[in-house]
A and B are shown apart, each in its own frame.
Chain A
Amino acid sequence: MKTNTLTKPGTYKTLALLLLLIGPAFLLFLLFVVMPVVQAGYYSLFNWNGIGPLTKFRGLQNFGLIFQDQVFHTALINNLKIVAISLFIQLPMAFGLALLLGRNKFRGEAFLRSIFFFPYILAEIVTGIIWRFIYHPQFGVPTILSKLFTENGGEIGLLGDPSLAFGAILVVIVWKYLGFHMIIYIAGLQSVPKELEDAAVVDGANKIQVIRHVIIPSMKSSFIISIFLSIIGSFNIFDVVWALGQGGPVHSTETLVTYLYNFGFRRFSFGYGSAVAVTLFGICFVFNLFYQRFIVSEGRHGKN
């Protein structure tokens, strides 16, 4: 459909109007989104402490240093673990919950949905502090449980133990974001044609078969969206991890953004930090290209 216009294209009046309409957004976007990113690309080529002129050109050395850094490896692996937990535990759980609570089969569903959704509206930092209490080594839940169920149970400090801390954080991440994905799936469930479901039942399909062959294919776009948000979100996680231990103990819970913060800001190596930012951009960008190219387009033009 052709969009209608009140103004003739190509006249000065149109140009002035365009400037007035699009100018403010363009300026804001250029100054605070685009330019910083371009500048980061430039800074990443220097050894720079953030003050004074850029003189120590290093080319791509910063990137080499990043990829050699053991802590960066931990951070990247941790992000990949978050992606894995999100995709293989959180999303199936959210889908299960949506099936359980999204179809108005009993009274009180809406209330229960709110309970699962509530953690999502909490500030991440608040979430972190709440769970620090739940995990507290002296009086937290793990300690209470260990005293209750084992003979000589003592204090358990999950967040202080480098081998357990990240697992404990993963639990919090699932707790925080599960409800959001549940809501996406509930919205998707409502678009599944009821007749299709009934027809399958008439044809003798059991519950699992209906879910497998009718519901899941009809909800393809919900899955595409929630997988996309999960992965992008997983790479950008910061607040929760920060509140639960600032990337420690001994860097065991470092993620790409805590790494960026710890190494860029706390040590004032802005050149190095910029290189981390550029790498993170690169990862998100490549992932998105891939996702657009192979998943989203297939979802749009595929057989559904």
Chain B
Amino acid sequence: MEKTRNNILRITLSILGALVFFFPIYTVAIGGFKTNGQLLADPFGLPNPFTSEAYRVVLLSGSQFWGFLFNSVVISGFTILLTLAASMLAATGLSRIEFKGRGFLFNFFIMGMLFPITVAVLPLYLQLRGFGLIGTRLGVILSQAAFSLPLAIFIFTGFFREVPKDLQDAVSIDGGGLLTFAWRVLLPLSTPVISTVTIITLIQSWNQFLLPLLVLDDASTFTIPLGVMQFQGQYTTGWNRIMAFISIALLPMAMLYIFLQKYVVAGLTAGAVKG
């Protein structure tokens, strides 16, 4: 008896909390389907009638949404590729070759986990300017990849260390060197770790704001977070359009989360294991 009462209390409490928590998202999700007048008169009620005018403006005219999306995909995509390639190579070296200074080098990379990109953004800006990378997508890609490396190297090195010696010996007997071993054995074995690193890097790079804000100076190179900010500035009072824009902008990440929920959570908790 007491158990059911406890459970009812537990469920009621969680549902109430969840409702409060969901409220801002709900507001956005329905806001884009209202006219602006209706949104301001009745901000939290259901749309009556439903209208897709705001979505048409965002998707078909009056916004550069598709351009922003393209830039986000390109920047996140190359950031992930570069992070994966560089960190997997480095982790192969750090985990399977014995050399003087290996521990030092590993710690040197890992130290980078301490400093989020936010802390370093001013000096980074100056450095990028020195390289002539201000205003380029490449500048964002290289910096984001560099800051994603420490965690990626940490995760891959830990994983590669655990791969048994026997497997490496087998490759060696067939006449294969370390690179063959990395390509034939380490790479295929790493699928779960690769998805972890990919998800962490993707979420960070997709949502990154400060760095692209400083590096990218032209709207044609803007990513979605910058685009949202610009669109919001453009339609200060057109809240229904802003809500429609936000709804579409958060769709890719929401879908990723829904389909890859298990991996996202695994990835983030793995990513949390630092320090």
A36 within 8 A of B: yes
Task: State the CA gap A235–B169 with chains docked (Å).
Answer: 48
User: What are the interface flags for B29-50 relative to A under an 8 Å C-beta threshold, 1 for contact and 0 otherwise?
Assistant: 0010000000011011000000
| Chain A: number of interface residues, binned into ranges | 35 or more
Which candidate, A158-166, A194-202, A258-266, is the interface stretch facing chain B? A258-266
Residue among A4, A20, A243, A261 having the largest count of chain B Cβ atoms under 10 Å? A4
Inter-chain contact A26/B228, CB cutoff 8 Å:
no
Inter-chain contact A119/B21, CB cutoff 8 Å:
yes
B126 within 8 A of A: yes
Inter-chain contact A31/B127, CB cutoff 8 Å:
yes
User: What are the interface flags for A231-259 relative to B under an 8 Å C-beta threshold, 1 for contact and 0 otherwise?
Assistant: 01101101100110000000000000100
Inter-chain contact B181/A6, CB cutoff 8 Å:
yes
Given contacts A134-B24, A180-B268, A184-B272, contact A36 B178 (CB under 8 A): no
Instruction: Specify the chain B residue showing the minimal Cβ separation from A101.
Output: B14
Task: State the CA gap A112–B13 with chains docked (Å).
Answer: 11
User: What are the interface flags for A4-19 relative to B under an 8 Å C-beta threshold, 1 for contact and 0 otherwise?
Assistant: 1111010000100110
Instruction: Specify the chain B residue showing the minimal Cβ separation from A285.
Output: B114
Instruction: Specify the chain A residue showing the minimal Cβ separation from B129.
Output: A50
Residue among A35, A37, A105, A123 having the largest count of chain B Cβ atoms under 10 Å? A123
Inter-chain contact A18/B93, CB cutoff 8 Å:
yes
Inter-chain contact A281/B89, CB cutoff 8 Å:
no
Inter-chain contact B97/A17, CB cutoff 8 Å:
yes
Given contacts A32-B142, A33-B115, contact A243 B122 (CB under 8 A): no
Q: Return the contact of A28 from the options B142, B225, B256 (Cβ within 8 A).
A: B142
Taking CB atoms and an 8 Å cut-off, the chain A residues in 36-65 that contact chain B are 36-37, 39-40, 43, 50
Task: State the CA gap A39–B128 with chains docked (Å).
Answer: 12
A137 to chain B, nearest CB (A): 12
Which candidate, A67-75, A80-88, A124-132, A146-154, is the interface stretch facing chain B? A124-132
A2 to chain B, nearest CB (A): 8
B250 to chain A, nearest CB (A): 6
Q: Return the contact of A125 from the options B97, B115, B225 (Cβ within 8 A).
A: B225
User: What are the interface flags for B261-275 relative to A under an 8 Å C-beta threshold, 1 for contact and 0 otherwise?
Assistant: 100110011001111
Inter-chain contact A138/B90, CB cutoff 8 Å:
no
B70 within 8 A of A: no
A219 to chain B, nearest CB (A): 13
Task: State the CA gap A296–B3 with chains docked (Å).
Answer: 38
B242 to chain A, nearest CB (A): 7
Give the chain A neighbours of B28 by CB distance below 8 A. 130, 133
Give the chain B neighbours of A273 by CB distance below 8 A. 122
A106 within 8 A of B: yes
Give the chain A neighbours of B85 by CB distance below 8 A. 24
B89 to chain A, nearest CB (A): 5
Give the chain A neighbours of B126 by CB distance below 8 A. 36, 39-40, 43, 50, 270
Inter-chain contact B105/A22, CB cutoff 8 Å:
yes
User: What are the interface flags for A206-231 relative to B under an 8 Å C-beta threshold, 1 for contact and 0 otherwise?
Assistant: 00000000000000000011101100
A236 to chain B, nearest CB (A): 4
A293 to chain B, nearest CB (A): 12
Give the chain B neighbours of A105 by CB distance below 8 A. 7, 10
User: What are the interface flags for B234-252 relative to A under an 8 Å C-beta threshold, 1 for contact and 0 otherwise?
Assistant: 0000010011001001100
Q: Return the contact of B122 from the options A40, A106, A232 (Cβ within 8 A).
A: A40
Inter-chain contact B40/A138, CB cutoff 8 Å:
yes
Give the chain A neighbours of B17 by CB distance below 8 A. 97, 116
Task: State the CA gap A106–B9 with chains docked (Å).
Answer: 12
Instruction: Specify the chain B residue showing the minimal Cβ separation from A221.
Output: B273
B92 within 8 A of A: yes
Instruction: Specify the chain B residue showing the minimal Cβ separation from A19.
Output: B93
Inter-chain contact A3/B207, CB cutoff 8 Å:
no
Residue among B123, B232, B246, B274 having the largest count of chain A Cβ atoms under 10 Å? B123
Give the chain B neighbours of A139 by CB distance below 8 A. 40-41, 43
Inter-chain contact A225/B242, CB cutoff 8 Å:
no
The 10 closest A-B pairs by CB, nearest first: A21-B93, A40-B123, A32-B146, A36-B123, A25-B90, A123-B207, A4-B165, A25-B86, A236-B118, A36-B127
Q: List 25 A-B contacts (CB under 8 A).
A: A3-B96, A5-B98, A9-B99, A17-B97, A18-B97, A24-B86, A28-B145, A29-B112, A32-B127, A36-B120, A39-B123, A39-B127, A125-B209, A125-B229, A126-B225, A133-B27, A133-B43, A138-B40, A183-B265, A226-B272, A242-B210, A260-B121, A281-B120, A291-B275, A292-B275
